[in-house]
Amino acid sequence: MPAARGPDAPADTFSATRAATHVREIATAPRPSGSAAHTRAREYIVRTLTALGLDTRVHTGAAASHRPDLSPIGADSRYADLRLRNVVARVPGTANTRPVALVTHYDSTEAGPGANDAGVPVSVLLETARALLEGPSPRNDVLFVFTDAEESGLLGAQALVAGPGTLPPDTVVLNFEARGSKGPSLMFETGPDAGWLVRTLTESAPDARADSLLDAAYRYMPNLTDFTVFQEAGHQGLNLAHLDGYTHYHGTGDTPDRVDPATVQHQGEQALGLARALASADLTHTPVGDSAYFRAGGWFVSYPLGAALPAALATAGLGLALLLRLQTRGALTMGAVLRGFAVALGQLVLAAGAAFGLAPLVASGHPEFAHYYDIGGHGPALIGFLSLTLTVGCALALIAKRWAGARAQVAGAVLLWILLSVVSAVLLPGGSHVFVWPTLGLLSAAAVLTSRAGETAGGRVLAAALGTVPAAPLVFPLVPLLTNALGLGLVAAPVAVAALLTALLPGVLPVLPRLLPVTAAVVATTVLAGVALLARGPENPVRADLLYLWDADRRTGHWISGVPADDWSDDFLPTDAERGSVADLWPGWRVPVRRGPAAEAYPLPGPRVTTRVLADTAGGGRRVQVTAASRRGADHLVVLVSGTTVRGWSLSGVPGQYADDPAGDAPWELWIRHVPARNWNWSWVRGRRRSGSSTAPTACRGRRPTDRTAHDRPRSGSPHSEKPPWPPPPGRWSEAVRDTVRRRAVRDMRPRVARSAPPPVPFSLVSRTRRPAAAGRARRPPSPSPSSVRCTPAGSSPWSGRAAVPRCSSPPRPGRSCRRRPANPSASRRRGRRSASCSVRPARWPCPPAAGPAAAR
């Protein structure tokens, strides 16, 4: 990666230091869509672009979309937002042929300030706009677009493509993202007919990192970005992001001090280079077709994607010709080749299987492993797993030597590479180069090893060089890249790729050190054991997960958690709580969690709902309108429809995308983001009925549950604050629960010697509707101290603080003491009830004023 440029860099170049000032201004606090920090970030973006002299406008709109891949609970979810704010700035061209748009989102999750996701892309676009204006006037229009609500279902981009005239249909889109905190900026996804764009990238940014394998594999993954929306709308373009340093992604640790200046410089140089190249080009007629591309050392190779299969077939023909020649000369029989093929396949399967089985064992002391976090960085762990791969390859080659000789094993490995080349060219043409070009080197090596020269030490060394040199530039960089992209949870994939390189081991083992297998085994054991025993610290925090559900009809509360039992959650959930379904609390929730009744209730008023039948439709359908409003100013609402099909729907006049109903008995689900303070109307056309038809609106505060498991558990506490008034006003119940729980919930993960007051840690709170759960017993959490202390900033973070509230769930009557309201396990479960709940997640928030707790947004 290039070195970061300082503030004295030439005005027409990109400077990571200048861009870093924007990150510090934007990433001061979590900025989910609709929050105060979100508004401040938008105003800063508009102010900065306006100061550059650009025509900057804020486009308001609404959007509704069907995104089941984003469902936090495995349900068939839809998303809607009625108050979206997209920022668009325009650099006019002198003779526009096609506009070029540089796009990123400016919202973040509620878990943290989002300095990398997407503070870095925002700063890159702002600095790119400044540097672009320092050069010659562009020929084409250049748009700088900052979308809203990407973290809430890609809704800002949806409104952008649906809005008339906002983004012309022929616009070339360059989307910038972040899924980590360091590493190179990778071009990992392309739009349709993007071969010419890939060539433009490599010409305008010589240090660009791109591989068509990433694009091909990404299409089979459930991940989505704003670029997904632009692809669906038919826009050509590229998607770029940095992936390394996943530890603090979507967490409290994603702060400006964890931004890598080299990463900012790398992404900025690509953005500026692409912007200048596309802005000055004639884009009236662009070539069609996609390409296969990869970097091999200092060279960037690109060729038409349609040539992938012919190249694979040509390689296969050369390989089969070699095997046929060996059989004709009597050097090998077909049976020996097949036995060698079985050995090579066994090396791959055993190495990948060992990595798959050992990875959870190595990470057993790291609960964050369940969320694909780094374990002390991927480097040490990857060295251990690669040593394990070498051990397995050597051991199996020696064990099977009598059953399949060295020549047979090499020939069998060549046959495996040929098979993978052809299969990948058919199923994954963008990634076939990983197998096709190394196979050519292996064929040369196999030809030497199966000849008389292969019986000499010099011939074996030559064969090792011929087989390794063509594969090294492709496979060696790919292994750490796959580890960063997939995480240690799927480390078996890069291990399998590395295992393929052991194909030459049977032929070159005689010239290798005799103790190589033993040495590799010792290194693997030592390194993996060291990673497993790695101490926790600020750089590898533990993940936390705690969700409170409140049933307003039964007036019962429940705690659930998605992580194993530990000292942190023992005070809320029974230690023996087993993982299971919570479909009785939230129909359609398919993610298993630990659950238990709340020993102390926190009442939350449910939403106000009215239902009206508008008309009957053809085919036995019916148009129904639901009007709802939150009693406490909730940010999100969820509508669940079960027992019937939904043919179409709209929200306050905004039509939703039609989609088939969920399979089986799963309910139809709609998440409404950024809920208006007034009533909102949801209209839907009911289709065929199922048994037990019902509609259940849900009041929520905060964000979707998928991110409730993506928060760092803080390592230290915050000072106490002034005791807020009790009971809080109706719109502040969520804040009251948050302040009570954060007063006592988080503990240090070190073993406790004695029961003592836990360090105070700030929390954010989300309230949601849930159905009642089976009652049970749980350990009662320690009561908070009623003493009041003045609120002061905590630690080094300028946005941490906490508040304490008394333990009573409701004000006691005169002359009576405060009592807990017991759960009612015998109450019947009725469909269609309105209830409310809250989800508690560790986060840091502005220190509340003396009059009461700060609002959680």
pLDDT tens digits, one per residue of 471-504: 888 888 888 888 888 877 788 888 998 888 877 6
| Residues 166 and 20 both lie in one domain | yes
More confident residue, 86 or 840: 86
The answer to whether residues 158 and 673 touch, using CB atoms and an 8 Å cutoff, is no
Q: What is the pLDDT of residues 602-619, one digit of tens each?
A: 777 778 888 888 888 777
The distance from CA 164 to its chain's CA centroid, rounded to whole angstroms, is: 31
Question: Structural domain tally of the chain?
Answer: 3
What confidence score (pLDDT) does residue 703 get?
36
Note whether 651 and 514 are same-domain residues: no
Please check whether residue 634 lies inside any domain of the structure.
Answer: yes
Angle subtended at Cα 577 by Cα 574 and Cα 582, rounded to the nearest 5 degrees: 120
What is residue 538's predicted lDDT score, i.e. its pLDDT?
65
The residue ranking higher by pLDDT, 849 or 300, is 300
Same-domain pairing of 403 and 267 = no
Closest C-alpha to 258, from 373, 112, 115, 107: 115
CA distance linking residue 823 with residue 554, whole number of Å: 8
pLDDT of residue 72: 66
> Are both 432 and 322 inside the same structural domain?
yes
More confident residue, 313 or 732: 313
Q: Among residues 291, 295, 293, which one has the least CA distance to residue 305? A: 291
One-character DSSP codes across 370-385? GGT--SS-HHHHHHHH
pLDDT of 823 > 70? The answer is no
**Got the DSSP string for 108-133?**
--TTS--IIIIIHHHHHHHHHHHHHH
CATH number, domain with residue 41: 3.40.630.10
pLDDT of 688 reads 58
Same domain, 89 and 37: yes
For 427-452, give the DSSP string: H-GGGTHHHHHHHHHHHHHHHHHTSG
Of 500, 337, 324, 317, which is closest to residue 407 (Cα–Cα)?
337
Domain boundary among 302, 329, 344: 302
What is the pLDDT, as a whole number, of residue 852?
Answer: 34
Q: 294: which residues sit within 8 A by CB, 6+ positions away? A: 210, 211, 212, 213, 300, 301, 433, 434, 474
Give residue 695's pLDDT: 60
**pLDDT tens for residues 289-346?**
999 999 887 889 999 999 999 999 999 999 998 888 888 887 788 898 899 899 999 9
Domain limits for position 175: 16-284+293-302
**Which of the four pLDDT bands, split at 50, 70 and 90, describes residue 507?**
low
Give the pLDDT band of residue 97 (cuts 50, 70, 90).
Answer: very high
Closest Cα to residue 837, out of 744, 739, 652, 699?
A: 699
What mean pLDDT, rounded, does the chain reach?
Answer: 76
Q: Note whether residue 816 is domain-resident.
A: no
Q: Which residue has the higher pLDDT, 488 or 10?
A: 10
Is 818 among the domain residues? no
Residue 1 forms part of a structural domain: no
155 against 735, higher pLDDT: 155
Residue among 581, 635, 629, 492 nearest 771 (CA): 581
User: What Rg, from alpha-carbon coordinates, does the chain have?
Assistant: 30
Q: Are residue 621 and residue 494 in the same domain, yes or no?
A: no
The pTM score is 0.78
Residue type for 23, please?
V
Return the pLDDT at 837: 36
Q: Which residue has the higher pLDDT, 135 or 629?
A: 135
Q: Are 856 and 845 in contact (CB under 8 A)?
A: yes
Rounded CA-CA distance 105/614 in Å is: 38
Domain-terminating residue out of 302, 334, 351: 302
552/478 same-domain check: no
- Specify the residue for token string 């990150």: 23
701 in a structural domain: yes
Q: Determine, yes or no, domain membership for 354.
A: yes
128-132, 507-511, 673-677: which has the highest mean pLDDT? Answer: 128-132
Beta bridge partners of 570: none
What integer is the mean pLDDT of 821-838? Answer: 39
Angstrom distance (rounded) from CA 261 to CA 542: 26
Same domain assignment for residues 556 and 527: no
Q: Out of 3-12, 505-514, 795-804, 815-824, pick the least confident.
A: 795-804
* Closest to 161 in 3D by CA, of 151, 169, 152: 169
Task: Report pLDDT for 202.
Answer: 93
Same domain, 574 and 670: yes
pLDDT at 711: 33
Cis peptide before 121 (omega within 30 of 0): no
**Strand positions, DSSP E, 160-253:** 172-178, 182-190, 209-210, 237-244
- Please say if the pLDDT value at position 776 is more than 70: no
Q: Are 488 and 378 in contact (CB under 8 A)?
A: yes
Dihedral of the alpha carbons of 756, 758, 759, 762, in degrees to the nearest 10:
-160
> What are the Cα distances from residue 274, in Å, to 128, 238, 637?
10, 10, 41
How far is Cα of residue 139 from the mean position of the Cα atoms in its chain? 37
Residues 496 and 547 both lie in one domain: no
813 falls within a domain? no
Q: Give pLDDT, residue 836.
A: 37
Asked if the model's pLDDT at residue 740 lies above 70, the reply is: no
Alpha-carbon gap, residue 410 to 343, rounded angstroms: 10
The domain boundary, picked from 256, 276, 302, lies at 302
In a domain, 822, yes or no: no
- Looking at the structure, tell me whether residues 457 and 378 fall in a common domain: yes
Same domain, 509 and 411: yes
